[in-house]
Amino acid sequence: MREHGPGEPGADSGGSATRSPARAGRERGAVRGAWDYVIVGGGSAGSALAARLTEDGSTNVLVLEAGRPDSWWDLYIHMPAALSFPIGSRYYDWKYESEPEPFMNGRRIYHARGKVLGGSSSINGMIFQRGNPLDYERWAREGGLEDWDYAHCLPYFKRMETCVAGADEWRGGDGPLVLERGPAEGPLFGAFFDAVQEAGHPLTDDVNGFRQEGFARFDRNIKRGRRWSAARAYLHPAMSRPNLEVRTRAFVERIVFDGARAIGVQVNGQTIRAGEVILCGGAINSPQLLQLSGVGEIHHLESLGIPVISDLPVGENLQDHLEVYVQCASKQPVTVAPAYKWRNRPLVGLKWLLFKSGPGATNHFEAGGFIRSNDDVAYPNVMFHFLPIAVRYDGTAPQGHGYQLHVGPMYSDARGSVKITSTDPRVHPALQFNYLSTEQDRREWIECVRAARAILHAPAFEPFNAGELSPGAGVETDEEILEWVRRDAETALHPSCTCAMGSVVDPSTMRVYGVDGLRVVDASVFPFVTNGNIYAPVMMVAEKAADLIRGNTPLPPSDAEFYVHGVEATSH
């Protein structure tokens, strides 16, 4: 336990304790005012890390979360179908916007990020995708990341989950993250699974199991009809521990250094001291905080008059996924559109409140799949989500009875950056993604849209297909498709890789190079974005990082085989 005078300025400053038992326990016990670790951000990774680190009763942890608590009565968080409501609301969302994107007609792309306990896991789409095993083989080819291959990551994926569909060699059976499989029932899902096969794609049992490639029902972070966020799965069960305190509405402004050693953080202008600081603020906030505090690229920091403590490519290597919705009108009234009508919402809400069932209890992302859109790629580079409704992700522009595929490239080689433009921590950093900036990206976009159309216009959809709503007739040639993507595409909300392991963070300790007492554990440490939604990989990183930080013997590597196209089975 490190020294920390309770009377020091700021020792108890900033934020409010969300649950009294932990605070009471801490004040009762001998640990008052002393933190071994301060975790910045009670989001996805932060929740898992706080829970794992405080399993050791002698380790004292303070979590500082800028957003509000995820109160039990908050329907917008806990009712799965309400997922679009927090987006754009300052009560839940950091509300970022990219710089004008040079390859998208100068459009600014809106970026939601969770600003509430549970972070983005409290406002996300609840889709659970581990990524392809070959994603981790790719990570492991980077210098120093040998222990981040699939064999070493799989045991942590298993440790963190309870797969309700069943545990096996690949899936976990008793972890905190409960995963229910989407039912994907009804005529439209039936047509969808037939249509993908007519378009030449296989089905697979479980995209998170032996074989990702193919189409299947999807797992989601829902437990008995409620969103099962990282905060609910990890943090709340740990909050009664006397060695954990969680403060919400506690915005961390800077990391405080003594020379090259991080000794705490600044909240409301006052210092909270800690033995170590662990940044879990996500792929935008973690690099922002590092740059504000003197850890970043030397010329960039000097241009803002920030004294440089460690010259590192912080904020570079930004990666993300972009997506579009290919939509069709439905001849038959078999979609879930009525549930979205204002007049039906009270009934949907009531059914959910009373029974945790009905249209309110689903995220609607119940099925989808992964394909390789060309022969150059070794594993799937395109992901699809099928929805039995035509609507934009943020809930706007519902199109009557319709259905849609979300689609986009998963293996884009476009790279961007997160850069502060001010020394004021409340000024959002400049986000530049450079979507569509590469030849490969543009080619794969054309492949994506054509592959989605092949599925939606397959014979199985004939009884339903009343014509394409979007992009619609008039978007046929490669150039027309690209122009539509430039106009219409949105982020799939997977910013990552801005404090990458190997270049900013040591993959064996999660420590930031060139300084002491400072680590990063969140989506920013990925070296490459994985080929699906990224919440599950973030949680795996947090689980594995917890063992590295605690000095535990790592879980033994798995020898489970996995599917590789053109190879019978690949074993470690």
Ligand X SMILES: Cc1cc2nc3c(=O)[nH]c(=O)nc-3n(C[C@H](O)[C@H](O)[C@H](O)COP(=O)(O)OP(=O)(O)OC[C@H]3O[C@@H](n4cnc5c(N)ncnc54)[C@H](O)[C@@H]3O)c2cc1C
Question: Should residue 535 be labelled a site residue for ligand X when binding is judged by CB under 6 A?
Answer: yes
Which residue is nearest to ligand X, using beta carbons?
43
DSSP string, 211-245: --SEEEE-EESEETTEE--HIIIIIHHHTT-TTEE
Stretch that binds ligand X, among 73-81, 111-119, 293-301, 428-436 (CB under 6 A): 111-119
Q: To the nearest whole angstrom, how small is the minimum distance from the Cβ of residue 63 to ligand X?
A: 9
* Nearer Cβ to ligand X (34/536): 536
For position 325 contacting ligand X by CB under 6 A, the verdict is: no
Q: Site for ligand X (CB under 6 A): which residue of 44, 330, 404, 434?
A: 44
Task: Give rounded-to-5 percent helix, strand, coil for the chain.
Answer: 30, 25, 50
Report whether 65 contacts 114 (CB < 8 A).
Answer: no
CA gyration radius, the chain = 23
Q: Counting contacts by CB under 6 A, is residue 42 touching ligand X?
A: yes
Task: Determine the residue type at 183.
Answer: P
Amino acid at 221: N
- Residue 299 or 426: the one with the smaller Cβ distance to ligand X is 426
CA 367, CA 427: separation in Å to the nearest integer?
39
Residue 129 vs 412, nearer CB to ligand X:
129
Question: Applying CB under 6 A, does 41 fall inside the site for ligand X?
Answer: yes
With CA atoms as reference, report the closest residue to 22 among 249, 239, 250.
239
Min separation Cβ 111 and ligand X, Å: 8
Question: One symbol per residue from 277 to 306: x for binding ligand X (CB under 6 A), - otherwise; what is it?
Answer: ---xxxx-x---x-----------------
Q: Annotated catalytic sites, by residue?
A: 494
Nearest distance in Å: CB 282, ligand X: 3
- Told to check if 494 binds ligand X by CB under 6 A, we report yes
Pick from 18, 54, 98, 124 the residue near ligand X by CB under 6 A: 124
- Residue 72 neighbours by CB distance under 10 Å: 10
Among 79, 123, 216, 277, binds ligand X (CB under 6 A): 123
Smallest separation, CB 546 to ligand X (Å): 13
**Residue 378 burial (10 A CB sphere; 0-12, 13-18, 19+):** middle
Q: What is the per-residue binding string for ligand X in 541-560, x denoting contact by CB under 6 A?
A: --------------------
Count Cβ atoms within 10 A of the Cβ of residue 193 and give its class: 0-12 exposed, 13-18 middle, 19 or more buried: middle
**How far is it, in rounded angstroms, from Cα 550 to Cα 548?**
6
Residues 48-107 touching ligand X, rule: CB under 6 A, are 64-67, 87
- Candidates 18, 54, 59, 120; binder of ligand X (CB under 6 A) is 120
Q: Does 429 bind ligand X (CB under 6 A)?
A: no
Q: 177 has which bridge partners?
A: 161
Determine the Cα–Cα distance for residues 520 and 396; give it in Å rounded to an integer.
36
Q: Is 115 in the site for ligand X (CB under 6 A)?
A: yes
Find out whether 525 and 541 touch, Cβ atoms under 8 Å. Answer: yes
What are residue 455's phi and psi, to 5 degrees?
Answer: -75, -50
Q: Is 266 in the site for ligand X (CB under 6 A)?
A: no
| Interface residue list for ligand X (CB under 6 A) | 40-46, 64-67, 87, 112-115, 119-121, 123-127, 129, 251-252, 280-283, 285, 289, 493-494, 522-523, 533-536, 538
